[in-house]
Homo-oligomer: A and B are copies of this chain.
Amino acid sequence: MQSRSTPPTRAGGRPRSAEADTAILEATRQALVDLGWTKLTLGDVATRAGVAKTTLYRRWAGKSELVVDAVAELFDELELPDSGSLAADIEGVVLQFAALLGRPETKTALMAVVAESTTDEPLRERIRASIVDRQKRLVLTGRARAQARGELPVEPDAASAAATADLIFDVIAGAVVHRALVSAEPVDGEWARRFTLLILGGLSAVSGRGPDG
């Protein structure tokens, strides 16, 4: 995660404390749990981390950037279970994702930084680089496994294959987020099963042909 701002010159001077980084990110997550996005203040985070406010501002441009980095670490915990079938893989990752969204620090922070990013292009890039794109690996890995198992056809057109992957990702991530945060209904095994059924039924229809439908 190269996401912190780097000091302008690389010359002499006291080096930045690595422990401070760790402490700040951990304090940020804890503050999110305790206070939520809106009431989280950088001064409070600094206090929790046992660090001066200036130290915090030296490394992050603002609240949004800090929180993105803090929650990005949580998303890296997601991993694709190798459960032997595409359906089980999808259900597994959906439930994992839902569990992550159930954690208070993620719940309150994720939508807030995305909202922030709608009027802040650099922030959107940071979110994409630190969170979104990193999780697309789950879709790619899952599809590769399914193809190896013969559950999905191999799309010959690379561009079409990429578009499909993006589509799948938007559908899965979007649906789970919407269910969990907007509808605020539980993402349980039952829902995951029905959702997977929907995805799988359509998946073959999409991957089976070219982009011209």
Contacts and interface: CB of A to CB of B under 8 A. Distances in A.
Interface of A: 36-38, 86, 104, 107-108, 110-112, 114-119, 124, 127-128, 132, 152-153, 155, 157, 159-161, 163-164, 166-171, 173-179, 181-185, 190-191, 193-195, 197-208, 210-211, 213
A166 B152 contact: no
Given A124-B184, A184-B124, A201 B205 contact: yes
B200 A205 contact: yes
A178 B167 contact: no
28 contacts: A37-B115, A38-B119, A104-B119, A107-B118, A124-B184, A132-B182, A132-B183, A159-B211, A160-B211, A164-B206, A166-B185, A167-B191, A167-B195, A167-B206, A168-B198, A171-B178, A171-B195, A174-B175, A174-B177, A174-B179, A174-B182, A175-B175, A197-B202, A197-B206, A198-B202, A198-B205, A200-B203, A201-B203
A115 B32 CA distance: 12
- Copy count, this protein chain: 4
Nearest to A132: B182
Contacts of A116: 37-38, 112
Nearest to A121: B184
Contact of A114 (B111, B200, B211): B111
B211 A200 contact: no
A139 B49 CA distance: 48
Contacts of A108: 115, 118-119
A164 B178 CA distance: 15
Given A37-B115, A108-B119, 7 more contacts: A160-B211, A161-B207, A163-B211, A167-B195, A170-B178, A193-B213, A201-B204
Contacts of A182: 114, 127, 132, 170, 173-174
Contacts of A184: 124, 128
Contacts of A210: 157, 160
B118 A115 contact: no
B174 A204 contact: no
A194 B166 CA distance: 11
